[in-house]
């Protein structure tokens, strides 16, 4: 996965860009919330922790990871919510 980071004192974004980003984010989140296209080809272990879908003409990937409560390492028991924090990453497929 390609990761980039930028440090800046200030960031200015046009209103139209913000609106587009917010619309795109809302569309991706709505589709992710109802995603149920799991099959053996894309979910061979039955974990339902990865998916891909289209939003606004773009392919979106999502991945759910299971961390311990401190977010320091993987959860000792992903099925136990008392020791697990689920983190979802949603990204453009082209960013992978």
Task: Please report the pLDDT score of residue 17 as a whole number.
Answer: 60
| Percent of the chain residues past pLDDT 70, beyond the cut | 83
Q: What is the pLDDT of residues 62-78, one digit of tens each?
A: 888 999 999 999 999 99
Query: What mean pLDDT is predicted for residues 35-60?
Result: 83
Q: Where are the domains of the chain?
A: 36-95
Q: What angle do CA 79, 85, 89 make, to 5 degrees?
A: 110
What are the two backbone dihedrals, phi and then psi, of residue 77, each rounded to the nearest 5 degrees? -150, 90
pTM, two decimal places: 0.65
The tens digit of pLDDT for each residue in 8-30 reads: 455 555 676 677 778 777 877 78
Residue 80 pLDDT = 93
């Amino acid at each position: 996965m390609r990761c980039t980071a930028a440090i800046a004192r200030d960031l200015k974004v046009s209103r139209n860009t913000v609106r587009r980003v917010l619309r795109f984010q809302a569309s991706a989140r709505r589709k992710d919330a109802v995603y149920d296209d799991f099959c053996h080809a894309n979910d061979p272990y039955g974990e339902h922790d990865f998916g891909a879908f289209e939003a606004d003409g773009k392919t979106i990937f999502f991945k759910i990871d299971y961390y311990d409560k401190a977010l320091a390492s993987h959860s000792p028991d992903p099925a136990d919510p008392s020791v697990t924090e689920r983190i979802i990453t949603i990204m453009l497929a082209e960013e992978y």
